[in-house]
């Protein structure tokens, strides 16, 4: 696979997907990263550590895909269920070598400072990292109601007092001292506004050490994010993984180059990133969606494009993933492109996406039988809703593809 990608840039782009879980408040991870980095600078920690803490802030909620979980974390200072997503995040990161250093701080980023010290659960350095993320995370939770109105500056003092009151219990005293020093200035809070965040992110990316990702690392990171998306709803468990497998096998049967087959597999893993912004209630609804709900759902492929197009080297992957709901008839979305304007790989991904959804067991209905799915896909082909040549290949290898679509891992 000939993709030249800076893994850091890819991580920064994929962090946008994590922020989508906030639905109406979509920059939580970035704000936590900025606050953690600024506190680390105030303590004169090395530049490499500042960058690490910024990256850790971006990804600290990698275990959150549910909008309901996000709302609890923002609304409650010490939510009883907070540890579950920390454990999920730890599980996702611990075996991915480029980011494995983040795994333990993510696991303990909702553990109080006094509990960390009492249990001696972490080396002191890791405990401070985890606790700094908790501090920044709780500051952002308290500030969240005021971002939309632009009133954060007016409410900063109650937030600062709340953090100061918890020094030694929730937060390490030296971290509280650093936070109080930097947050006394307007620039600390103004850096959390959307335009300033974008500039801060660009500066961090420009000054950080690039990391050339290997093919295996790209595939592993894409799989991690597929798991995050698929975990959002019990209805779509393992969907992205199944789509990626089916799309690649269809492409192989059609003689697509190995290079494009590998890129298509990554596109399949990432094609539903935008669904992280769809509220849980819509994804979990075991009945037809109403018109407003359909409009929200249909936005997800556009959101996917907005995330992936930021990654240099992902141009084809971004296009194929974003176009997986476009149809040869021109009646798809979000752009209404007709078949002549759709890459073969995008057309394959559409077929794989529909097919996997039909054969996968869902909590509210079993997957379609072999006969039923063959009939259904033939009907779509007859209406010019899927590409005829791809439909023919699918029918010719139906048993093999059903098995791939239904595989749990």
Measured from the Cβ of residue 359, the count of other Cβ atoms closer than 10 Å reads: 25
Helices 300-308 and 7-19, axial angle in degrees (round to 10) = 150
Joined together, the tokens standing for residue 298 give 């249909």
Cis peptide bond upstream of 244, omega within 30: no
- Rounded to an integer, what distance in angstroms lies between the CA atom of residue 166 and that of residue 112? 10
Instruction: Using alpha carbons, list the distances in angstroms from residue 205 to 202, 209, 210.
Output: 5, 8, 8
Residue 118 buriedness (CB in 10 A; 0-12 / 13-18 / 19+)? exposed
DSSP state of 369: P
Joined together, the tokens standing for residue 402 give 């059903």
275 catalytically annotated = yes
DSSP state of 212: B
- For 98, list phi and psi in degrees, rounded to 5: -60, -25
Nearest to 245 by CA among 374, 360, 366, 378: 360
The residue annotated as part of the active site, out of 94, 263, 275, 309, is 275
Give the residue carrying structure tokens 């969240």: 144
Nearest to 56 by CA among 105, 90, 10: 105
Joined together, the tokens standing for residue 134 give 């908790």
Instruction: Answer yes or no: are the C-beta atoms of 28 and 140 closer than 8 Å.
Output: yes
- Rounded to an integer, what distance in angstroms lies between the CA atom of residue 347 and that of residue 339? 8
Q: Which of the residues are catalytic?
A: 275
């Amino acid at each position: 696979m000939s993709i030249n990608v800076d893994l850091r840039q890819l991580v920064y782009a994929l962090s946008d997907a994590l922020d989508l879980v906030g639905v109406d408040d979509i920059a939580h991870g970035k704000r936590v990263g900025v606050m953690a980095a600024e506190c680390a600078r105030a303590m004169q920690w090395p530049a490499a550590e500042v960058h690490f803490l910024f990256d850790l802030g971006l990804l600290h909620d990698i275990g959150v895909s549910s909008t309901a979980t996000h709302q609890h974390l923002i609304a409650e200072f010490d939510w009883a269920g907070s540890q579950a997503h920390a454990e999920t995040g730890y599980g996702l990161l611990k075996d991915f070598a480029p980011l494995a250093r983040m795994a333990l701080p993510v696991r303990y980023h909702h553990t109080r400072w006094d509990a960390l010290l009492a249990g001696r659960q972490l080396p002191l350095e890791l405990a401070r990292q985890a606790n700094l993320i908790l501090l920044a995370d709780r500051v952002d939770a308290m500030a969240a109601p005021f971002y939309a109105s632009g009133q954060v500056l007016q409410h900063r003092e109650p937030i600062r007092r709340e953090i100061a009151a918890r020094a030694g219990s929730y937060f390490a005293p030296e971290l509280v001292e650093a936070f109080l020093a930097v947050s006394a200035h307007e620039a600390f809070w103004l850096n959390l506004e959307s335009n300033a965040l974008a500039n801060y992110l660009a500066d961090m990316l420009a000054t950080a050490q690039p990391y050339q990702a290997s093919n295996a690392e790209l595939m592993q990171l894409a799989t991690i994010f597929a798991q995050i998306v698929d975990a959002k709803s019990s209805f779509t468990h393992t969907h992205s993984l199944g789509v990626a497998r089916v799309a690649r096998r269809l492409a192989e049967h059609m003689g697509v180059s190995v290079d494009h087959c590998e890129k298509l597999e990554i596109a399949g893993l990432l094609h539903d990133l935008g669904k992280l912004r769809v509220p849980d209630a819509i994804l979990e609804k075991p009945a037809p969606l109403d018109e407003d709900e359909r409009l929200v759902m249909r936005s997800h492929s556009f959101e996917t494009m907005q995330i992936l197009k930021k990654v240099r080297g992902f141009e084809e992957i971004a296009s194929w993933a974003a176009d997986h709901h476009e149809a040869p008839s021109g009646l798809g979305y979000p752009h209404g492109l007709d078949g002549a304007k759709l890459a073969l790989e995008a057309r394959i991904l559409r077929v794989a996406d529909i097919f996997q959804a039909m054969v996968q067991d869902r909590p509210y209905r079993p997957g379609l039988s072999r006969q039923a799915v063959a009939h259904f896909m033939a009907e779509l082909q007859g209406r010019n809703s899927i590409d005829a040549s791809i439909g023919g290949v699918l029918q010719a290898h139906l048993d093999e593809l059903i098995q791939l679509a239904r595989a749990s891992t």
